[in-house]
Amino acid sequence: MRRPGSLTPVGAVPRATFVDPVFKTAESIEAFLGNHDNFICDTDGVIWHGAAELPGAFATIQDLRDRGKRLVFLTNQSDKSRAELAAKFTKHGCEVDRNDIVTSASAAADYLVTFHPSVKKVYVIGQSGVVDELEQAGIACCGGPTDAENEVMDEEAFADVQADASVGAVICGWDLTFNFQKLCMASLYLQRGCVLIATNRNETEVVRDGRKIPGNGALLASIEAATGVEAIVTGKPSQLLGEMVIEKYDMNKARTCVLGDRVDTDVALGKAAGVNTMLLMSGMTHEEDLADVCSNSTTCPTYICEGLGKLSCE
């Protein structure tokens, strides 16, 4: 089995077991870092768990910066804005420009500006992070966290409700006040031909003791089922997102690596974008999962490492 702190190059051929890993010295880690200039780094499960820093994560970030590496922090979160996440970094003593942070909500705003410039107003299912990013991009919003009145929406009320004619898209982000009224309003706008954009398809999010709370994908499934409209997804593992990030930050794919703790989002994003991937064992994926993860090339990462803190040779 992997030794603590080891870095395992998995290679092109999937392996079901991890015996005698090759990368377990400072020299092997130096070689890995020497082959990459750009790192697209997940946050939760990689840098922190909730409010708690993961061991050595910020030291590694500083080490990579000192080496001249480019770091972009990419999260599927949509409930917090980039400014809020930058403030969280600052609280941990690490200064990060919000322009080096990409959330699934900021990606949705960038997508609208780039591909649907005529859309100037959207109906939002989601929290303040979605609204903040859209408004910063010059897009007006209705719905959102203030639209939580829990009004009863029956057939008669739905027949009478008036849609805002200026709305051109529906954005679906994780919404703790999602209800039947919001489902009905999203359905009405989509019946009028609006674009449907989702910040991610995460089916669940893990909370304490391994419990899984329904994620944005559960909300989105009800909207797609009610309307027959398939969403454009701007969060991980969307190939669209990967290409947008690589182009925005002018990254050489051959020298770029995605760092993350989830196979279904982080590793899948890197594979879709055609870059190397490193699975970090500090969050969603555990030792007992590795045999299944690397049993085929569609899920197997390029590298496996215990945690971000192990990438620093300091």
Residues involved in catalysis: 37
Cβ atoms < 10 Å from Cβ of 212: 10
Q: What sign results for the dihedral spanned by CA atoms 62, 78, 244, 221? A: positive
Largest CA distance in the chain: 70
Beta bridge partners of 201: none
Q: Which residue has the tokens 């039947």?
A: 180
Beta bridge partners of 24: none
- DSSP-derived secondary structure letter, 58: H
List CB contacts of 209: < 8 A, sequence separation 6 or more: none
Residue 189 contacts residue 209 (beta carbons within 8 Å): no
Q: Give the distance, in angstroms, between the CA of residue 12 and the centroid of all CA atoms in the same chain.
A: 25
Cis peptide before 237 (omega within 30 of 0): yes
